Amino acid sequence: MSLNDLPQGNEPIQMEDSKHVGCCCCKSGPITCRCWLPKRGYLPGETLSFSAEIENLSNRNMRGSELKLVQKITYHAQSKTRTEHNIVWKDARPGFEREDYWSDCRILLSSMYPSPFRGTSLIDIDYELQFEVDPGSLSTNLVLALPILIGTEQVVPNPFSNAIPLAPPIGFSVPPDTAHALPQPPYGYNSYNPVPSSEQPINACAVQPPQTGYPTSPAFNPAFTQPPYANDS
Instruction: Let me know if residue 70 belongs to a domain.
Output: yes
Helices and strands (H, E) in the chain, number of each type: 0, 9
Handedness of CA 113, 119, 120, 126 (dihedral sign): positive
Q: Backbone phi, then psi, for 149, in 5-degree steps?
A: -115, 140
Instruction: Let me know if residue 92 belongs to a domain.
Output: yes
Expressed as residue numbers, the domain containing 103 is: 3-150
Instruction: Let me know if residue 161 belongs to a domain.
Output: no
Instruction: Let me know if residue 178 belongs to a domain.
Output: no
User: Coil, strand or helix: which one is 159?
Assistant: coil
Instruction: Let me know if residue 85 belongs to a domain.
Output: yes
Instruction: Let me know if residue 56 belongs to a domain.
Output: yes
Closest to 69 measured CA to CA, from 53, 91, 47: 91
Instruction: Let me know if residue 173 belongs to a domain.
Output: no
Instruction: Let me know if residue 183 belongs to a domain.
Output: no
Number of domains observed in the structure of the chain: 1
For the chain, 233 residues long, give each residue's pLDDT as a single digit of tens: 788 888 888 899 999 999 988 766 566 789 999 999 999 999 988 999 999 999 999 989 999 999 999 999 999 999 999 999 999 999 999 999 999 999 999 999 988 889 988 878 899 999 999 999 999 887 899 999 999 999 886 545 555 545 444 444 434 344 445 444 444 444 443 433 444 444 444 444 444 444 444 444 444 444 544 555 555 54
Region class of 164: left (phi > 0), else alpha (psi between -120 and 50), else beta: beta
Domain with residue 99: its CATH number is 2.60.40.640
pTM of the predicted model as reported, rounded to 2 decimal places: 0.63
